[in-house]
Chain A
Amino acid sequence: MVALFITLFLPLAGSLFLLLLNKDKPKLIKYIAFGFSFVTFVVSLFLLFFFNQDNPDFQLKFEAVWIPSIDAGFRIGLDGMSMLLLLLTTFISTITILSSFGAIEKREKEYYVMILLLQFAMTGVFISLDLLLFFVFWELILIPMYFIIGIWGGKDRIYAAVKFFIFTAVGSLFMLVAIVWLGFYTGTYILHNAAGFTTNFFVLKSALLSHPIPIEVQRWLFICFALSFCIKVPLFPFHTWLPDAHTEAPTPGSVVLAGVLLKMGTYGLVRFNLELFPQASLEFAPYIAVLAVIGIIYGALVSMVQTDVKRLVAFSSVSHLGFVVLGIFSMTVEGLQGAIIQMVNHGLTTGMLFLCVGMIYERRHTRDISEFGGLARVLPAFTVFFGIAMLGSVGLPGLNGFIGEYLTLFGAFRSPVLGSQWYTIVSATGVIFAAIYLLWMFQRVMYGTINNPKNENLKDLNKREWLTLVPIVILIVWIGVYPNSFLKISENSTRALVKKMELAKSGINGKYNLNASNAYKK
């Protein structure tokens, strides 16, 4: 519990501490920021010792009074899925800060303050067990991210930052409305508590289990939450903010965006939509799965025709996260487990692809594919890393991406909720397209001979860059070769969730009569 507390607040402490420093010492600021982030990562590893994998429930819980009049509290805790995503967050944040050393060359102090604040907020999102607290963290993300894109971004950074902000904020508004309704309904009609309101996730979960919300209302609540999350994922057709944000963000911004931020959407879908609105989730599953499948193919096809490497990788995210959403709404253990591991995978491989793109950008200050060619000759070590990230993203067995894709497709294939094998069959063609756009990009950038004299004297990786990439490669191979060490962490909480969904499904067929015996009349 203390470790969880430290994991959450150490980045905030770092952020505040940096504010006290003199901005003329960027080197010191960098190292301190890295130090805070790295220590946080180490502490978060200790959580694994305290975390009991056999227990499907939330663990390492902590609760403090926050706003008693609406029963909103500072409630945090971990289950298997949030454990994995928390580790991903602390890991990617450390890597991101390390990669910032080369990528950020102005206003370092403000930057590192922002990035640590961002880490604090992201961690908060994954461990909040209170809807209002979650919402605060969710919105808090926007502030540092807005500035990171808007100040340290590329040419059209302002457009991209505003677009990012508005897309996400619009979604959040709906979520807030739904949270208020939910809190009021549960507090007043089910619990009859003093506040007449609650945002306690636990209480909500158990209250709604025994007193499901009438399906007509549940649908709307589901949509409000889902809209917010699907924009964040982003699910087709809400994805258009992503390519702009990614392309304009500085390298570390893209890494953290792809690595962690997008997972907040998929995390939210599992944590809130599935847990709180199981009946509506069952109803909507086929529709969302269709969007996921379209996203898989669409993202891949549009990726194929990009001329900007970074935009290409950005569109590939749309495709990859389609697999995650498909896995989630298969509502099978395999599909959800696949989705969770795929969240981690995407964070690692796409994060690494962005790092690699950033490394050549730092050397050449362009991301136009036609500017490159033959880089393998001058950057042999870089080629290996870039190649591994590319293959991980292609979904080569033995590397991480395959495990996630295989499990999500497997889950969707057998899903009683989706009830059709076509979701999988169509999505599996995405595997072919992934090979096309990634291999082709790699060919044009790395292979052939150097035609552009500017590419002739590029320097291969320096020590810091090695240090950034090696840990990711280790994880990419680890997950591919021995995924069990990761799957085990979330296995039991996933099983519990699926069991719950199965109960809800049998409820739809008559166990609960949702329309008649609902809690309204009590």
Chain B
Amino acid sequence: MHELIKFVPLFPLIGFLVLGLFGKYLKKEALIGAIGSGTVFGSFVISLLIFFDFAAAHHEKPILVPVYKWIETGVLNINISYQVDQLSILFSLIVTGVGFLIHVYSIGYMHGDRSYYRFFAYLNLFIFMMLNLVLADNLLLTFLGWEGVGLCSYLLIGFWYDRKFEGYKITWTGDAGNKAFIVNRIGDFGFIIAMFLIYNEFNSLQYTQVSNLAAEATMQYFGSGTITAITLLMFLGCTGKSAQIPLAIWLPDAMAGPTPVSALIHAATMVTAGIYLVARNSVLFALSPFSMEIVAIVGIATAFFAATIGLVQNDIKKVLAYSTVSQLGYMFAALGVGAFTAGVFHVMTHAFFKGLLFLGAGSVIHGMHEEQNIKNMGGLKSYMPVTYKTFFVATLAISGIPFFSGFFSKDEILWMAFSNGNVFLWLIGAIAAFFTAFYMFRLLKLTFHGKERFDAHHVHPHESPKVMTIPLIILALLSAIGGFLGIPYALGFWFSHQPNLLETWLHPVFSQAQAILHRTEGHQVHSIEYILMLVSVAIAITAILLAKRFYSDEKWSVPKALAGKFKPVYNLLFNKYSLDEVYYAFIGTPVFKLSQSFLWKIFDVKIIDGFVNGLADVTVSTGERIRRIQTGVAQNYALLMIGGIIIIIAWLVLSY
């Protein structure tokens, strides 16, 4: 059964080729949509089959399925080969499952677009690359997927290449795409060097081999400089792909793409690749306490910093984008304290609720004729009931209201941050959670509740067609109940010895790392865990009530007064801490200026060419001068000859 894994990436590849090469001749949108979604559905079904088979067989060890030899030269021997294990199956289910729903949604969303087939071709290519990323059995194939999804992200952000988009030094959507690709390349630089170091150390790029070798020599590697360098460089790659500090700047601008793209790539799947990479290399990370600390700190700082920005944004997609950055920060915080399962758990629930939020936002934008500013919305509840209800479910989930999916996963992270990390990690995480609940309910209030602030003569909000709302409903269901896969022991011990299904499922993947970290899976009940749980519920509810209070008032007098009172803080947040400006001022512009005015115009043109031309000039002018010796008068020649002979004789005599 596991041999079928080859077909999981193959289907979307075929979809891409068919749509890319012949899409132009397929006139019917329905056909294009069916091909695009059908291939992904096929992959989903196969992933499910493999999942059931794998679960039934109680495999502990990963199964490797080689396809063909890719690069074979010298000592290198890299295969296109897939790894079937608990982690890759889980990710493949998320990617193809959520991916399928978003494909279906896009059938409605992209209706009437003149490049309809191109959109689905790119989406299918994305799924193919993402599957390579998560299914690969070695780092280089993962890297192929890693850069491949980056390519698709670039292509899809700039999909409407003739539309303008506002951002720092950004005029067109394509500029935003460039920014995403280039910032990611900085991360990829780290990834590449990490791969070289890994090969030097372990003579392999295969995950299983590297992990086993590293785990066997724990004593040798624990805390070693090499491992720290490897993991930090790898993490640099993750900060690019998963938009963490210091490379977080590209994700908000990535919202230039069509909304299904934001949902699929920039919320549910691609941006979680960084978490996947750390989880996949959990053994290496576990061997470097320093790197783990960095991961945790960067994660929690990003969670906090992005949440604060989210408080004051007015573009519906921008709010969600910063929210995504923030949630990804939580996941890294979890990984950083060694709670790998919790991090992966949050990837899953986040894929449900954030995918849903973006699709809901798309439905709103669709219904509002491309309006994205929430200050110009309001009262949409009655116009688009399904969108509203599903959006509401997702908002509850992300805010951490008990028994919705986000509650379980976020609470697990906070608890782990407290118990395995320290109280500061927990505190910052808790404050960020407060902000999260606040900005989400602010968004909900401003969009769906209150007075209608749009011009009803020109804008006629309407509910989206079924092909878009059905995916919303399915995702809403998953957002509501998806958390029950990871019930913490403290809540579930009374009905099962192993209430956390996800933890049990992923146990074989992380057992080596857990052993290095000396973590036994904590099956004791701490009273403090209950207290913290109550605290975070209280935090969420306070934030929600506050947001309600602030934005039920149609004049927004309290938030306006606050913004006025703390003007510098407000501006700082509103301008996203001016990170783009700082990067440009200190790196971008100087490098550009240096290249233009020195390297090219002075070094190349003046110095090198100047030297060469100077040499030519000297040759010519010397020739001009020496020419005068050729006077044509025989006596002069004779004189010169005698002079020469005398010099030579003198030389010979003197040198003896």
Q: Which residues of A contact B (CB under 8 A)?
A: 166-167, 237, 239-240, 298, 301-302, 304-306, 332-334, 337, 374, 376-377, 391, 396-398, 402-403, 406-407, 409-411, 413-414, 421, 424-425, 428-429, 431-432, 435-436, 439-440, 443, 446-449, 482-484, 487-488, 491, 494-495
Contacts and interface: CB of A to CB of B under 8 A. Distances in A.
A234 to B, nearest CB: 11
A376 B185 contact: no
B200 A424 contact: no
Given A409-B196, A431-B189, A440 B71 contact: no
Interface stretch (B142-150, B274-282, B480-488, B499-507): B142-150
B609 interface: yes
Contacts of B71: 403, 406-407, 483-484, 487
8 contacts: A334-B76, A402-B147, A425-B193, A428-B192, A432-B189, A435-B181, A443-B177, A483-B70
B73 A487 contact: yes
B307 to A, nearest CB: 29
B596 A305 contact: yes
Interface in B577-599: 591-592, 594-596, 599
Contacts of A332: 74
Given A431-B189, A435-B185, A305 B600 contact: yes
A333 B71 CA distance: 13
B612 interface: yes
A302 B600 contact: yes
Contacts of A429: 189
B604 interface: yes
B233 to A, nearest CB: 10
Interface in B66-84: 68-76
Interface stretch (B167-175, B209-217, B428-436, B509-517): B167-175
A463 to B, nearest CB: 17
A428 B189 contact: yes
Contact of A447 (B73, B76, B161): B161
Given A302-B600, A431-B185, A432-B185, 9 more contacts: A240-B608, A402-B147, A406-B71, A407-B71, A409-B192, A414-B199, A439-B181, A447-B172, A483-B70
B182 A439 contact: yes
A488 B189 CA distance: 28
B601 to A, nearest CB: 9
A487 B71 CA distance: 8
B144 A398 contact: yes
Given A333-B73, A333-B74, A397 B144 contact: yes
Contacts of A240: 604, 608-609, 612
A428 B188 CA distance: 10
A298 B161 CA distance: 30
Contacts of A448: 161-162, 171-172, 174
B151 interface: yes
B346 to A, nearest CB: 28
A430 to B, nearest CB: 10
Interface of B: 68-76, 140, 143-144, 147-148, 151, 154, 158, 161-162, 171-175, 177-178, 181-182, 185-186, 188-189, 192-193, 196, 199-200, 591-592, 594-596, 599-600, 604, 608-609, 612, 616
**Chain B residues touching A, majority SS:** helix
Nearest to B75: A334
Contacts of B592: 304-305
Given A425-B193, A435-B181, A443-B178, A391 B186 contact: no
Contact of A440 (B162, B178, B186, B188): B178
B176 to A, nearest CB: 10
A374 B143 CA distance: 32
Q: Which of B140, B144, B192, B608 has the most CB of A within 10 A?
A: B192
Contacts of A409: 192, 196
Contacts of B143: 397
**Chain A residues touching B, majority SS:** helix
B174 A447 contact: yes
Q: Which of A333, A429, A448, A483 has the most CB of B within 10 A?
A: A448
Contacts of B162: 374, 376-377, 447-449
Contacts of A397: 140, 143-144, 147-148
B144 A413 contact: no
Given A425-B193, A443-B178, A302 B75 contact: no
B70 A484 contact: yes
Given A240-B608, A332-B74, A337-B74, A413 B200 contact: yes
A306 B601 CA distance: 11
A398 B148 contact: yes
A111 B108 CA distance: 56
A491 B73 contact: yes
Q: Which of B69, B72, B177 has the most CB of A within 10 A?
A: B72
A432 B237 CA distance: 13
A93 B566 CA distance: 69
Given A397-B143, A432-B189, A435-B182, A443 B72 contact: no
A333 B72 CA distance: 11
Nearest to A407: B73
A292 B74 CA distance: 22
B66 to A, nearest CB: 14
A334 B70 CA distance: 14
Contact of B188 (A333, A391, A431): A431
B595 A301 contact: yes
A424 B193 contact: yes
A337 to B, nearest CB: 4
A-B CB proximity, top 6 nearest = A333-B74, A447-B174, A305-B596, A301-B595, A447-B161, A334-B74
A484 B175 contact: no
A239 B69 CA distance: 38
A239 B604 CA distance: 9
Nearest to A498: B74
A458 B595 CA distance: 34
A315 B188 CA distance: 23
Contacts of A333: 73-75
A508 B268 CA distance: 58
Nearest to A318: B604
Contacts of B609: 240
B193 A482 contact: no
A304 B174 contact: no
Contacts of A334: 73-76
A448 B158 CA distance: 10
A326 to B, nearest CB: 14
Contacts of A306: 600
Contacts of A449: 162
A47 B592 CA distance: 48
Contacts of A302: 595, 599-600, 604
A432 B73 contact: no
Contact of B172 (A377, A428, A435, A443): A443
B192 to A, nearest CB: 6
B558 to A, nearest CB: 43
Given A302-B599, A305-B596, A484 B72 contact: yes
A425 B193 CA distance: 7
A436 B182 contact: yes
Nearest to B597: A305
A232 B214 CA distance: 46
A64 to B, nearest CB: 35
A414 B201 CA distance: 11
